[in-house]
Structure 1
Amino acid sequence: MADVRVPAITFFLVTVHLFLSNAATPSPSPAPGPRYIIVDKFGGGDYTRIQDAIAAVPSNNSGPVDIWVKPGIYNERVIVPANKPFITLIGSIEEKQRVVITGKRGGSIKESATVSVLASDFVGQDLIIENTYGRGTQAVALRVTGDRVSFYGCRILSFQDTLFDEAGRHFYSDCLILGATDFICGNAASVFERCHVHSISPYGGAITAQQRTSLDEKTGFTFMDCNITGVKSAILGRPWGNYSRVIFAHTFMSEDGLLRRI
């Protein structure tokens, strides 16, 4: 991969353009005091399935709900509906006791997702989200469509279209995102901060496929202080639409075992 240098002023102006001039109507003030739900696949909590815990959250919820998931492998499809905002899904930081949400589903970019976040004001923390389908078709691990959505310390793993960053304003911090083909794709306005992006492509596949379709859309992907590696060479992105926009700033990219700053 060749070194690329993005002027600091360009990064600053585009970031302001995406996240300040595009300010949305403030979200409703949540009711005081979170509600806590515990998920334990072995029966030690309120529910044994994550989807059952989400189903227990009232529709049009206006107060924060923390769903704590105990370590284990949860083989299920998880959907956070649009009418259930203010949910925080919390896993585990213990390396040997992680929360893994897994699926093996290929085909449609929208229907194959292991986890789909359609609600606004969602937070995911310390989760492993994977789609183990492998090569051959779209196999999304995480689909994000809600607005004001954040992920912290998560691992998002698949092969093709791993992260379908479909729409909305999103923030990813200290996450690992792994895939081979267009594995960060969609038309959201998103910032990736201190994330590790790893390509497992054996043939130089694209890391990003951003889908902005007009100059008027205030969307794009910004990678800041990230680390990009791969098993072989990869390209940073390919256009999915005529106005795709991706920015890499203060990011390391591996080449011949070395890390180079751009």
Structure 2
Amino acid sequence: MKSKSSASVFSLLVAALQVCFFLLSVQPTYGLGGFPVKKLSRKTQRSLAGNLGGGVDYSSALLIVVSQKKGEGDFSKVQDAINAVPVDNKNLIFIRVLPGIYREKVTIPVEKPYIILSGRNASNTVITWNENAGATGGTYFCATMTVLASDFVARFITIQNSYGPGDQAVAIRISADRSAFYSCRFLGFQDTVLDDSGRHYFKNCFIEGAADFICGDGQSIYEQCHLHTIPLLNGAITAQKRLSAGEQTGFVFINSKITGAGLMLLGRAWGPYARVIFALTFMDNIIFPQGWDNWNDTSREKTVTFAQYKCSGPGANSAGRVPWSFELSDKDAAPFLSSSFVNGEQWIKKMPTRLTRATNLIPKNG
């Protein structure tokens, strides 16, 4: 008996050491484009370790339906459907939002990952609210939708902050890793999309605003997106907040287009190492010739990465650009032109092909 017990203890020690070696193996290194990769926090390491083990079936999902018409759905509010998702959820949850204007503030809590929020047409499926930063205690608290959980997807839906000009009024705040958005519309004036933190992928989305309307320190790709500007005095499309050379964060726009009215900057350096790249993007005649702003800090001109790559249209003319921005070569642009910039090959998934009603999550009188 003593021999078997010792062997059992030894096996447990070996298993524990293997986990420790895995966690310690995530060390600072040099990644895409030669930029140093920051060391991951222990919390992030545990999250990655958990995902390496699988456990989530991406081919199927549990279905919840939201509708404002009585008897047509399981819930009449989007937030009620999200509240029904179990804490520490391990199943893919597909929340189908039927057409309607949903006047509510929505939060995806950190403990509820693997949610897909899907309409059928963004033009008639709208989540809207109208709070501003001054009324809620700050920019981070006024968002119509706040995403705190990892592995979130939204499709074919409009998210709007209808407050209007005069203060920060966020349509969506994304403070979570591995979020994807397909054919969505984001409407606001200032800080429309607070792309706060984590890796994100936007495809075929419409984003409208007037000042810093894509902002934050996310590591994000915007592919085939339409950025539409509303004229206000000296507005900017982006305000990226990269804080150090060691961060992999930045905004990359690929095969997108910029339209609107008035004159806009491509971006302002919210952070001292802000990084924004427009690649293969059409720019209408609404871009200030200088293109970029240093946030009233000339020292940032030495550390930011503001660049274009083979952009087109009258607003893409680089002749008047600030001297501290540049045109990327084919070689320098390559690391930013695929989903590998956000490690998308690891987490961007196809939509599930099988949906099963989540009867255990739906109220009996629903």
Amino acid at match of 1:36: L
Mapped contact 1:138–1:161 kept (Cα < 8 A): yes
Amino acid at match of 2:62: R
Whether 2:82 is the aligned partner of 1:54: answer: yes
Unaligned 5+ runs, structure 1: 1-11
Name the counterpart of 2:176: 146
Amino acid at match of 1:165: D
Q: Return the alpha-carbon distance in structure 2 between the equivalents of residues 122 and 148 of structure 1.
A: 7
Amino acid at match of 1:89: L
**How many residues matched?**
247
CA deviations on 1:161-196 (whole Å, 9 max, x unpaired) are 000000000000000000001100000100000000
Q: Return the alpha-carbon distance in structure 2 between the equivalents of residues 46 and 102 of structure 1.
A: 20
Q: Return the alpha-carbon distance in structure 2 between the equivalents of residues 152 and 233 of structure 1.
A: 28
Q: Return the alpha-carbon distance in structure 1 between the equivalents of residues 61 and 160 of structure 2.
A: 28
Mapped contact 2:35–2:246 kept (Cα < 8 A): no
Cα drift, residue 154 of structure 1:
0.3
Q: Return the alpha-carbon distance in structure 2 between the equivalents of residues 215 and 249 of structure 1.
A: 21
Q: Secondary structure at the match of 1:101?
A: strand
Q: Return the alpha-carbon distance in structure 1 between the equivalents of residues 263 and 74 of structure 2.
A: 46
Whether 2:69 is the aligned partner of 1:39: answer: no
Amino acid at match of 2:127: I
Amino acid at match of 1:34: A
Change beyond 3 A, Cα 1:232–1:86: same
| Equivalent residue runs for 1:119-198 within 5 Å | 119-198=149-228
Mapped contact 1:18–1:219 kept (Cα < 8 A): no
Cα drift, residue 136 of structure 1:
1.0
Amino acid at match of 2:54: S
Mapped contact 1:18–1:220 kept (Cα < 8 A): no
Identity value in percent: 44
Q: Secondary structure at the match of 1:135?
A: coil
Name the counterpart of 1:205: 235
Cα drift, residue 18 of structure 1:
9.1
Q: Secondary structure at the match of 1:110?
A: helix
When the two chains are superposed, the root-mean-square deviation of aligned CA atoms in Å is 2.4
Name the counterpart of 1:80: 108
Cα drift, residue 115 of structure 1:
0.5
Amino acid at match of 2:129: G
Mapped contact 2:111–2:149 kept (Cα < 8 A): yes
Change beyond 3 A, Cα 1:127–1:13: same
Mapped contact 2:82–2:108 kept (Cα < 8 A): yes
CA deviations on 1:124-181 (whole Å, 9 max, x unpaired) are 0000000000111110000001111000000000000000000000000000000001
Change beyond 3 A, Cα 1:37–1:234: same
Amino acid at match of 1:104: N
Q: Return the alpha-carbon distance in structure 1 between the equivalents of residues 246 and 211 of structure 2.
A: 27
CA deviations on 1:188-217 (whole Å, 9 max, x unpaired) are 100000000111023230110000111111
Amino acid at match of 1:259: G
Change beyond 3 A, Cα 1:191–1:17: farther
Equivalent in 130, 133, 149 of residue 104 of structure 1? 130
Give the structure with the higher percent strand: 1
TM-score when normalising by structure 1: 0.88
Amino acid at match of 1:74: Y
Equivalent in 54, 65, 70 of residue 29 of structure 1? 54
Q: Secondary structure at the match of 1:255?
A: coil
TM-score when normalising by structure 2: 0.64
Unaligned 5+ runs, structure 2: 1-30, 287-311, 317-366
Q: Secondary structure at the match of 1:209?
A: strand
